């Protein structure tokens, strides 16, 4: 039995149209990546202080900060967040108390597992014998918390194009909540995989010391305790030019890629942060993944461009 000529032609037309769309999308994708490779470079601007800005437009942020690798504190980026008034220790205990998270043991560089309720009880009891820090609690599994903040307009994040299951599997989920006892710290570090980041202060205050990427050779791979210096053990640190800021409630700090930073809680605190991948660091981010796993590293830019592909590959267990 033969199909009518008009039906065969319709099928052929649909097939050709789909093929042209796919090819066009791929060509556009390749052209954009070529352009990004010329644009994505490790650029930073030495500073003596971090600007505090309000009423900052997106174009101003790109021109004056993101495109030149310069940190900034934005004082009104969180003004519409319900979290700034709603998220207290009592609220998190009542809403999420049964959830178990990893807690960093400050003096031992090890982890323990505690419930949110137990950790908040530890903070409110004022226990000064141990320094425990609840860092990197990804809140995407809690829609009630996600509703309480808005992704800042300055930070389009391509990672959020991917399914949450993929992000969790590869530890790329965002945003993450930090709850810290006074005087705790996550230590001197730069954010992983050439990611840039933002950190928003909800409760308490943080002291943050920043270093440009070119000072890495003086930082001993993050082993230096900036707040308790031992120059006999780490003499090269004397060559650094640190920049210190105090992050107040309601303020948000943008940290460009590869800027080293040491963060200390000056008070019992709650903060929200996120790792960023976008046009300003995407190619450098992809390079890190290629070095770790060539196949997955080359797939990453594809799945970020075509999120449906991520869902398909994940369903078949390829990623």
pLDDT for the residue numbered 15: 66
Give the model's confidence band at 275: pLDDT under 50 very low, under 70 low, under 90 confident, else very high: very high
pLDDT for the residue numbered 193: 87
**Direct distance between the N- and C-terminal alpha carbons of the chain, in angstroms, rounded to an integer:** 43
pLDDT for the residue numbered 315: 67
List beta partners, residue 74.
53, 252
Q: Which of 257, 259, 307 is nearest to 282 (CA)?
A: 257
Contact (CB, 8 A) for 280 and 38: no
Give the model's confidence band at 21: pLDDT under 50 very low, under 70 low, under 90 confident, else very high: low
Contact (CB, 8 A) for 173 and 138: yes
Segment of 80-94, 140-154, 165-179 carrying the highest mean pLDDT: 80-94
pLDDT cut 90: percent of the chain above it: 49
Q: Which of 223, 282, 239 is nearest to 257 (CA)?
A: 282
For 210-256, the pLDDT digits (tens) are 999 999 999 999 999 999 999 999 999 999 999 999 999 999 999 99
Give the model's confidence band at 38: pLDDT under 50 very low, under 70 low, under 90 confident, else very high: low
Give helix 89-96 / helix 116-124 axis angle, nearest 10°. 160
pLDDT for the residue numbered 31: 65
For 193-204, the pLDDT digits (tens) are 888 999 999 999
Q: How far is CA 200 from the centre of its chain?
A: 11
pTM of the shown model = 0.86
> How big is the chain by its Cα radius of gyration, in Å?
23
Higher-confidence residue of 252 and 185: namely 252
- Which of 26-30, 141-145, 164-168, 211-215 comes out lowest in average pLDDT? 26-30
- Which of 48-57, 70-79, 153-162, 304-313 comes out lowest in average pLDDT? 304-313
pLDDT for the residue numbered 6: 61
Contact (CB, 8 A) for 186 and 135: yes
Domains of the chain: residue spans and CATH: 40-279 (2.60.120.650)
What rounded mean pLDDT belongs to the chain?
86
């Amino acid at each position: 039995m033969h199909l009518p000529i008009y039906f065969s032609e319709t099928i052929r037309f649909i097939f050709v149209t789909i093929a042209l769309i796919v090819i066009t999308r791929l060509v556009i994708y390749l052209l954009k990546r070529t352009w990004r490779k010329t644009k994505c470079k490790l650029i930073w601007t030495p500073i003596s202080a971090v600007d505090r800005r309000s009423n900052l437009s997106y174009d101003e942020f790109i021109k004056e900060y993101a495109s030149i690798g310069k940190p900034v504190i934005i004082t009104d980026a969180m003004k519409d967040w319900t979290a700034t008034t709603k998220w207290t220790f009592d609220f998190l205990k009542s809403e999420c108390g049964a959830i178990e998270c990893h807690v960093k043991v400050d003096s031992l560089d090890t982890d323990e597992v505690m419930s949110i309720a137990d950790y908040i009880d530890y903070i409110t009891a004022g226990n000064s014998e141990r320094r425990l820090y609840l860092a990197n609690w990804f809140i995407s599994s809690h829609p009630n918390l996600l509703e309480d903040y808005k992704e800042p307009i300055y930070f389009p994040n391509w990672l959020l194009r991917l399914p949450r299951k993929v992000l969790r599997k590869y530890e790329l989920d965002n945003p993450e909540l930090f709850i810290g006892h006074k005087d705790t710290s996550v230590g001197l570090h730069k954010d992983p995989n050439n990611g840039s980041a933002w950190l928003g202060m909800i409760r308490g205050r943080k002291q943050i010391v920043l270093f440009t990427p070119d000072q890495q050779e003086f930082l001993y791979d993050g082993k230096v305790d900036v707040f308790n210096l031992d120059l006999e053990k780490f003499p090269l640190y004397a060559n650094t030019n640190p920049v210190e800021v105090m992050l107040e409630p309601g303020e948000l700090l943008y940290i460009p890629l590869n800027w080293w930073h040491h963060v200390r809680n000056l008070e019992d605190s709650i903060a929200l942060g996120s790792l960023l991948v976008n046009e300003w660091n995407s190619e450098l981010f992809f390079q890190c993944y290629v070095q770790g796993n060539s196949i997955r590293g080359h797939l990453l830019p594809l799945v970020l461009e075509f999120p449906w592909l991520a869902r398909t590959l994940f369903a078949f267990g390829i990623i």
